[in-house]
Amino acid sequence: MNSEPLLKSAYLKVERAKQQVTELESKISLFFEKRPYTIYRECDSKNGDELIVYYPTEAIPLEWSVLIGEILFNLRSSLDLAVYELTIKEIGNPLPKTEFPIFNDRASFFQTKKNGDAASGSGLFKIRGLNQKTQDCIEQLQTYHVHVLGGITYVKILHDLNIVDKHKELHICRYTNRQIEIINLNQIPLPGLAIRTGFGINLDERVELVRWRFTAYEHKRMSVGVNIFPEISFNENNLEIFTKPQPVLELLNQLIHAVDDILKRLMDTVD
């Protein structure tokens, strides 16, 4: 007789994902502590403008993509395991091709055969061994009901990123959406100052951060520096819904929260 708590395997997957996120956060912190970039003060030979320019000096470790893929796998797997465990509780044995369904449209989820049974591959077929209350809960979590990031649910983002990791490569980059901070140690006004701002900055390439023009020779002796705030982000090319890079740690924690919430909802449907 199995005396393990219900959904124990599913929760263990989530706990492992949380541990891996903590491990990744530590690796990222150590990476940036080493300052894997150089910032130079340069002069534009065309017009004499002074520049502060950023250059990356160290590549993002490739194994981080592997670790992120493992986190995504554990989270996606936890949802499938939940359906598997709940099916056994309801009917006493597992059923083939059960999993946590994720559908973009209602018709596909409810697709049936001519005799009225759930069509193979439909959402109903994947959860056919569950009680009606649990089935209704899962149906209400489908993408066509709930919209979060870019018109899509976090669980759909999880599902799609997991597929990308299985078949392609997860692309991560250094990126910042925060304002560059200017450190003007001499407190001398900087005529024509131009700070790189906007929608965001890709820090995997050379970037001109600051530009200004001197009006007097003595200004050239002034001391100017910058603070930048790079983050490791999912490149926008991973998913069509990403219109800009998405911070990896922030999104992973949002996905963990979403999976935790789904498991709790599923538990609440069990008598």
- CA geometry: angle 153, 106, 11, nearest 5 deg: 45
Q: Which two tokens stand for residue 63?
A: 């194994």
Chain position carrying tokens 């959860």: 127
HSE at residue 135, side-chain half, CA atoms within 13 A, is: 17
Query: Residue 238 has what pLDDT?
Result: 87
pLDDT (tens, 9 = 90+) of the chain, 271 residues, equals 456 789 999 999 999 999 999 999 999 999 999 999 999 988 888 888 888 899 999 999 999 999 999 999 999 999 999 999 999 999 999 999 999 999 989 999 999 999 999 999 999 999 999 999 999 999 999 988 876 655 568 888 999 999 999 988 899 999 988 877 777 656 555 555 555 544 578 999 999 888 877 655 445 555 667 888 899 999 988 888 888 899 999 999 999 999 999 999 999 999 8
User: Taking the model in full, what pTM does it have?
Assistant: 0.89
Q: Which two tokens stand for residue 29?
A: 């912190």
Query: Residue 244 has what pLDDT?
Result: 87
Query: Residue 18 has what pLDDT?
Result: 98
Query: Residue 169 has what pLDDT?
Result: 87
Query: Residue 190 has what pLDDT?
Result: 55
